[in-house]
Chain A
């Protein structure tokens, strides 16, 4: 994993028992994970009485370094040995390496879910609703007497802010065609997962 000097310096500070005692180290580590994974987290995450004695600039540096490292590790799906190697290079002692790896392991799933959800994709169908009607007449055509469906697909865009809809009408044959094709896709998916 390629990490910047900023991260390296931050970790070297973090490794030093003189700057961060055991308790402060653990607190800072937890704060880093919290900032990344907790949607409600804000600057107050570093506002712990046991961290007050540390220079705020140092605190922010180490916090940012830890967060950067965690994200990079998550992105690359780093295993324990990769993590350990880098931390050793930063002069972390055994105990701190263990602590880091344990904390990372505990948060790994949430981290991967978060990273996996970032990115662009096509508009995503999340639900469908339908309406069945029986058409009797229009201003142009009397005595129609035929059933028709109105189908609405609920869509979610990647920014999760907009939820547009796509609506269309279809008759019975068309709906049968639509359902048939979706079933084909579903069966293919099943078969593919069994390979």
Chain B
């Protein structure tokens, strides 16, 4: 599958052959950093001054590169397809190789970052547990009531939340049973067939 690059996008990327390959590599590094942490416009100003061009040009160049990398990573296009897509830009052999390397080196991380953008449910982080025995309460003395207290740590959109819950021994055994069945399910023929055939 080839990438479809718009005219505007191609214009922005046209800046890249005009600078040193070390500068392109630097732009690549900045692009990935911006994906990790968010963009920082001050960097554009510094680079613009050093290269003697407008800040906008630098910004477009970096953004064009970012979009190239994220689209390629999202679609998980093959090396060959990437090379063919970039070929239409008419860059030098050296620049093409540099861009391909940039893609391959950063693809995994970019995909991880993109996966965080999907509609999100709280996801499991970890669990702590504690055994308790209730000995008495205001309404009844001399009890022996075992229970398990659980602290469930969840993540959602970067926020960490915790829930403190309790359960009794019988329910605990039931929970373990049910969830073990859930794990077993992945090993069944049905699931294996689906995983094998959907690629």
Chain B residues in 8 Å Cβ range of A116: 137, 139-140, 143, 145
B52 an interface residue at 8 Å Cβ cutoff? Answer: no
Q: Report whether B75 and A142 are in contact in the complex, using a CB–CB cutoff of 8 Å.
A: yes
Of B74, B122, B183, which one neighbours A142 at CB under 8 angstroms?
Answer: B74
Say yes or no: is A118 at the interface (Cβ < 8 Å to chain B): yes
In chain B, residues 6-26, which have Cβ atoms closer than 8 Å to a Cβ of chain A? none
Q: Smallest distance from the beta carbon of B2 to chain A beta carbons, Å?
A: 14
Residues of B contacting A: mostly: mixed
Q: A75–B140 contact, CB under 8 A?
A: yes
Task: Report whether A141 and B124 are in contact in the complex, using a CB–CB cutoff of 8 Å.
Answer: no
The A contact surface, by secondary structure, is mixed
Question: In the assembled complex, how far is the CB of residue A124 from the closest CB belonging to chain B, in whole angstroms?
Answer: 5
A101 beta carbon closer than 8 Å to chain B: no
Contacts of A75 in B (CB 8 A): 139-141
Q: How many residues of A contact B (CB 8 A)?
A: 58
B76 interface hit (Cβ, 8 Å): yes
Tell yes or no: B148 within 8 A of A by CB.
yes
**In the complex with contacts A119-B139, A185-B172, A143-B198 CB distance below 8 A:** no
Contact check, A169 vs B76: say whether CB atoms are below 8 A apart. Answer: no
Is B96 an interface residue, CB under 8 A from the partner? Answer: no
Question: Given A169-B122, A185-B129, are A153 and B195 neighbors across the interface (CB < 8 Å)?
Answer: no
Q: Which residues of A contact B (CB under 8 A)?
A: 74-77, 112, 115-116, 118-119, 121-130, 132, 134, 136, 138-145, 147, 149-151, 153, 155, 166-170, 172, 174-179, 181-186, 188-189, 192-193
A-B contact pairs, 15 of them (CB 8 A): A116-B137, A119-B137, A122-B164, A123-B165, A126-B171, A134-B194, A138-B117, A140-B115, A141-B114, A142-B74, A143-B76, A144-B115, A175-B179, A179-B179, A185-B172
